Chains A and B, each alone.
Chain A
Amino acid sequence: MTDLDFRQGDQPIPGPQTTNLADILERVLDKGIVIAGDIKIDLLDIELLTIRLRLFVASVDTAKKAGIDWWETDPALSSKASRNALEDENRELRERLRALEPSADAGREKESEQR
């Protein structure tokens, strides 16, 4: 299957099976209609996950320059760290990202509707 996978018919069709993980993650994590669940799971946003998983690391160079190199020693990357450490880390990371990229939030979901 290629990227250009045309199928006839009226129904939306699944994305190509070869779709890369980043493409899927940026859709299944941040998108979809959000209704409150009974069990709260903090999924991180795609950007944080990206850095943690080193998927398509947009901000690593920037972060490294700013001295954020926690992932080099992050226990969660090799073993399951304690819940508290992860929570702290997520919070800290969010703050740092915000400081590093003040325009990121404004630009990330720029949406234009037509018609």
Chain B
Amino acid sequence: MTQPSDAQVTSSSAEAAVTYVFAVCRSTRATSALDLTGVTGMPGGEAVRLLPSGLLTAVVQTVPAADFTDEVWQGRLADREEIERYARAHHAVVSAVATHGPVVPLPLATLYHDDDRARSRLAEEADRFHTALKRVAHHAEWGVKVYRPATPDPAAAFEEPAPETDGGRARGAGLAYLNRKRGAQALREKRREQALDVAESVDAELRGLAAASRRLRTHGAALSGDQRVHVLNATYLVANDRAHEVGLLVRALGERTGAQIELSGPWVPYSFVGEV
């Protein structure tokens, strides 16, 4: 854009600032009364504010253009602390807005040259936003992770005391070794299958009370030394009036299956607005 933007931009020049859009909600009285003083938004940005556009209102922030280029972000994406700062800042704004009504979050780093550009894009996509808002209204997202507890290596269970020998090598030692290996392998396989069965049944039960569900990729063992095996990473869109059932069900499933089940939420339904 060559043409400088007017009014909206405060002290910084038009070339130096861009509009970051966090989320979109309905233009209601609750929205216009939204108190955003508690959220700081992106590091280095101006105050987080509302940008009304007809029936929709975007939650935006003017941020320095130089800090929101692809080049800068590639570096940021390689720095754990940096990306954590920005991801949490984004999440904090989205979450703050959600306390006042349904909200549709945008992915991290959705940027426009200025407010007018943001407004016009919003207008073009108005139908999608309304569909998504309708879908997530009175619902929250709940994340469920199922872990198989870390177990001793099955090979250990097959370690038998070495047979008594008369000085020479035990007869059949090679065969016994192979049998142990085979047994350990079979046990490992069996445990894996059992864990996957548990994951499937946990998922099936939770889907029973969800309006929609999604499977996410399971996480590998964390470097923090978490040796548990992650067998299910799923997320569910649940009506708020059934929210209390989620915790109860998760607890019951944990007791029934013996698996470790972690529940997180309620989340703003990030995972359920993308496909409209």
Which residues of A pack against B, CB within 8 Å? 3-7, 9-16, 19, 21-44, 46-47, 49-50, 52-61, 74, 76-77, 80-81, 83, 86-87, 104, 107-115
Contacts and interface: CB of A to CB of B under 8 A. Distances in A.
Given A12-B240, A15-B91, 11 more contacts: A12-B98, A14-B91, A14-B96, A15-B266, A15-B267, A15-B268, A16-B264, A25-B87, A36-B121, A56-B221, A111-B275
A15 B264 contact: yes
Which 4 A-B residue pairs are closest in the complex by CB-CB distance?
A14-B95, A58-B220, A56-B219, A27-B270
Interface of B: 1, 18, 21, 24, 68-71, 73-75, 77-78, 80, 83-84, 87-88, 90-92, 94-96, 98-113, 117, 121-122, 125, 128-129, 132, 136, 138-141, 143, 207, 210-223, 240, 243-244, 247, 262-271, 273-276
Q: Is the interface of A mostly helix, strand, loop or mixed?
A: loop
Nearest to A60: B220
Given A26-B216, A28-B107, A12 B223 contact: no
A109 B270 contact: no
A108 B90 contact: no
Contacts of B69: 39, 41
A41 B70 contact: yes
A10 B239 CA distance: 9
Contact of B265 (A15, A21, A56, A83): A15
B207 A112 contact: yes
B117 to A, nearest CB: 6
Contacts of B108: 28-29, 43
B70 A31 contact: no
Contacts of B128: 33, 35
Contacts of A111: 212-215, 275
Given A12-B98, A41-B70, A58-B217, A49 B223 contact: no
Given A31-B270, A54-B223, A57-B220, A13 B99 contact: yes
**Which residue, B141, B216, B274, has most C-beta atoms of chain A within 10 A?**
B216
Contact of B87 (A12, A28, A47, A87): A28
Contacts of A108: 215-217
A76 B99 contact: no
Contacts of B21: 37
